[in-house]
Amino acid sequence: MTPYILKSWILLIFIAISFNAISQKNKEKIASLRNSFKDDKVVATLMQTAYTFAIQRDELVVNEEEEISMISLEPNISGSREIYYHDNKEIISAKFVSGNTSTSSKSCGNYEVESVFYSDAKVCTYPFKFAYAGDEIIFKSTTRYNDPRYFTRVLFNDELGVKQRTIIFNVPLDANVEFVEKNFSGFNIKKATSESGKYKVVTYTVEDLKTSKNEENSLGILYYYPHIVVVTNDFAGKTGRKKIIGSTDDLYRWYAGIVKQVNNDPGALKAEVTRLTASAKTAEEKIKNIYYWVQDNIKYIAFEDGISGFRPEAAQTVLHNRYGDCKGMANLTKEMLKVAGFDARLTWIGTNRIPYTYELPSLAVDNHMICTVIFGEKQYILDPTEKFVALGKHGERIQGKEMLIENGEQFIVRKVPVADAEQNLIVRKEELQLEGDVLKGKGHISIEGEALKNILYISTNVQQDNKKKLFDNLVVSNFSNTDQVSVVNTPEVNRDKALELEYTYGLGNKVTSFDKDIYVEIDWTKSFKNFTIDADRISDYYFNRKIKNRTIKNLKIPAGYRISHLPASIKKVHNDFAFQLSFEQKGGVIIYTNEITVKQGLIKKSDFEAWNTIIKELTESYDDQIVLTKIN
């Protein structure tokens, strides 16, 4: 063997040995990570983000530098990193800097949600692909907030599981910045504070962060995951201290300053306002006519982030376009009411997806705009984006929330009133009797609140045939083609009244005969049957509305029969929810009652076990049937 061939063999052997060593090392790393991140395919072994506040041209900016080291736990995995930006946040650089995997070119464009482009929100996507388990890659990015007002919060969790997470804030000693810690309990987050030159350095570290989950029927991640709300008060400029937002007064002044930039033209609204109020006999009727017209005729589209997240479109523009975001719709409502002679004011508010109050002076507190009318001792809160919500009532998403109301150079903070579950009352009453093997019924259903709003919206946006199907399925769910279901009346489209439906039916699959016995299924809706909640769920379970459902059915006992069995009654009353289900005989009638209440529309995680226990008992009762036996 020549020396050259010998050297080649030695080199190949060395490479093979090295490869096996690396593979074994990666196997150990993968095994260790899988213990902590069982459901993940890719894990961030390190995620470090540094935010440096810097003064540029006598303005304060925030530079964000992030480094993410990722490893694949499985072969052939594709993914991407996304960076969101807008008019007040720019991407300086972003790329994969090392690693044994493949990447492809970034793609950037408008951030689109349900075919609606947000006004100035954009996203850049950086794709990657891991060929083998154990492949690793590093992604680095630098972005800049050109206005620190828009740098509102920092989340610890990521779409990836994170082994080691570090967040660093570098703040000039002559700048006043607060870091408000949220949901830290149970996460073992460590904090260190030091000084380095002209900077105060605040460092947070934490290990083994699970993937953030936007669970369905949840109030959102801000209620459950650790994060920091950043409040930038002021800093030392060339001519003295310069205010950013350090108080609710500062926040309001900034909001009001943006609103002053809107060039509303009241003259362009006058003709429509005159038409809408001409037949109104009272002031309240004038308010109602304008409010309902905006609800019904202006299409809501969601513009968020950047300056368009806070500056309304001019009222005449929204009127002409027949569409707008919440700010544009609120501004149009306000300006039309002002033309009609009312004291109408723009109002900032955070929906129930945001767990903050105005004790926290930050743009993070608000994500919505509505209109408030001050009329003598009365206050009308108008949210025109809530289609078919009646005057004097309020959508679930803003009930109980603080609102910041215009008041000239000042402001007013008030809370939206909270309605109880009765506002969402659904009542069903039916009279039933047996005709052979067919269950005949005549019924009435009354629907109010959030369900009424949703049904009216759907029914006014579907074709006539689909509207019939909608109402048929409301009165009798899951009926077959051979069943007879008929809605007797044409329900009125009126948000000020409960939706009333009169109906009849004949159902052939609810009665079973065997020898001398008749088995009758009286409740086929079976509300909340098998509705147990996963104990591993992170967040509370939110139904998006308070619940109050009441069903009363009277079944006439056929001549020559007696009751031989009734399902078990249930009465379970919890602090936040209640189930009351009963079967009783009064004379020749079986009276079935089912009342379900979820007071706040929310099942707390601490109550999952109690809820699930009741649901299992309820399901057993639903699975049982009335048994009637022929009298000899």
pLDDT digits (tens, 9 = 90+) for 365-412: 999 999 999 999 999 999 999 999 999 999 999 999 999 999 999 999
Say if residue 114's pLDDT is above 70.
Answer: no
Of the listed ranges 57-71, 75-89, 186-200, the one predicted with least confidence: 75-89
CA-nearest of 170, 160, 209 to 188 is 209
- Segment 183-203 mean pLDDT: 96
- Give the DSSP letter of residue 278: T
State the pLDDT at residue 421: 97
pTM of structure = 0.90
State the pLDDT at residue 17: 40
C-beta atoms surrounding 528 within 10 Å: 20
State the pLDDT at residue 176: 97
Confidence of residue 125 (pLDDT cuts 50, 70, 90): very high
Say if residue 451's pLDDT is above 50.
Answer: yes
Which ranges in 3-46 belong to alpha helices (H)? 3-36
How many angstroms separate the first and last alpha carbons of the chain?
Answer: 107
State the pLDDT at residue 289: 98
The fraction of the chain above a pLDDT of 70, given in percent, is 93
Provide φ and ψ at 332, rounded to 5°: -65, -45
Task: Please give the structure tokens belonging to residue 501.
Answer: 């439906």
Task: Please give the structure tokens belonging to residue 334.
Answer: 């306000």
CA-nearest of 565, 540, 550, 554 to 587 is 554
Say if residue 216's pLDDT is above 90.
Answer: yes
User: Quick one: residue 514, left, alpha or beta (phi over 0 = left, psi -120 to 50 = alpha)?
Assistant: beta
In angstroms, the Cα distances linking 571 to 260, 549, 601 are: 57, 15, 19
Confidence of residue 308 (pLDDT cuts 50, 70, 90): very low
State the pLDDT at residue 111: 65
- Asked if residue 396 lies in contact with residue 454, where contact means CB atoms within 8 angstroms, the answer is no
- Give the DSSP letter of residue 312: P
The fraction of the chain above a pLDDT of 90, given in percent, is 79
State the pLDDT at residue 29: 85
266-283 pLDDT, tens digit each: 999 999 999 999 999 999
Say if residue 461's pLDDT is above 50.
Answer: yes
State the pLDDT at residue 256: 95
Confidence of residue 113 (pLDDT cuts 50, 70, 90): low
Say if residue 4's pLDDT is above 60.
Answer: no
Among 72-76, 164-168, 487-491, top mean pLDDT goes to 164-168
- Measured between alpha carbons, how far is 379 from 368 in angstroms, rounded to an integer? 19
| Torsion (CA) 7, 13, 15, 20 in degrees, nearest 10 | -170
- Measured between alpha carbons, how far is 192 from 595 in angstroms, rounded to an integer? 54
State the pLDDT at residue 208: 96
- Measured between alpha carbons, how far is 625 from 611 in angstroms, rounded to an integer? 23
Say if residue 309's pLDDT is above 80.
Answer: no
C-beta atoms surrounding 535 within 10 Å: 9
* Burial of residue 562 (number of CB atoms within 10 Å: 0-12, 13-18, 19+): exposed
Residue carrying structure tokens 């388990």: 133
Which residue type is seen at 600?
Q
Read out DSSP for 562-599?
Answer: EEEE-PPPEEEE-SSEEEEEEEEEETTEEEEEEEEEET
Say if residue 133's pLDDT is above 60.
Answer: yes
User: Top-level CATH class of 421-630?
Assistant: mainly beta
- Measured between alpha carbons, how far is 232 from 90 in angstroms, rounded to an integer? 19
- Segment 238-253 mean pLDDT: 94
Confidence of residue 478 (pLDDT cuts 50, 70, 90): confident
Question: C-alpha angle with apex 201: 195 to 203, nearest 5 degrees?
Answer: 135
Confidence of residue 112 (pLDDT cuts 50, 70, 90): low
User: Top-level CATH class of 248-415?
Assistant: alpha beta
Pick the CATH number of 42-237 from 1.10.150.120, 2.30.29.30, 2.60.40.3140, 2.60.120.10: 2.60.40.3140
- Segment 180-199 mean pLDDT: 96
3-state secondary structure of 614: helix
- Asked if residue 169 lies in contact with residue 51, where contact means CB atoms within 8 angstroms, the answer is yes
Confidence of residue 505 (pLDDT cuts 50, 70, 90): very high
Mean of per-residue pLDDT scores for the chain: 91
State the pLDDT at residue 2: 53
Q: Considering only CA atoms, give the Rg of the chain.
A: 31
Q: Which helix (H) or strand (E) holds 346?
A: strand 343-349
404-425 pLDDT, tens digit each: 999 999 999 999 999 999 999 9
- Measured between alpha carbons, how far is 433 from 441 in angstroms, rounded to an integer? 7
Confidence of residue 492 (pLDDT cuts 50, 70, 90): confident
517-550 pLDDT, tens digit each: 999 999 999 999 999 999 999 999 999 999 999 9
* Burial of residue 204 (number of CB atoms within 10 Å: 0-12, 13-18, 19+): buried
- Measured between alpha carbons, how far is 129 from 148 in angstroms, rounded to an integer? 35
Confidence of residue 21 (pLDDT cuts 50, 70, 90): very low
- Measured between alpha carbons, how far is 139 from 93 in angstroms, rounded to an integer? 11
- Asked if residue 302 lies in contact with residue 325, where contact means CB atoms within 8 angstroms, the answer is yes
Task: Please give the structure tokens belonging to residue 145.
Answer: 């907030």
- Asked if residue 488 lies in contact with residue 599, where contact means CB atoms within 8 angstroms, the answer is no
C-beta atoms surrounding 592 within 10 Å: 22
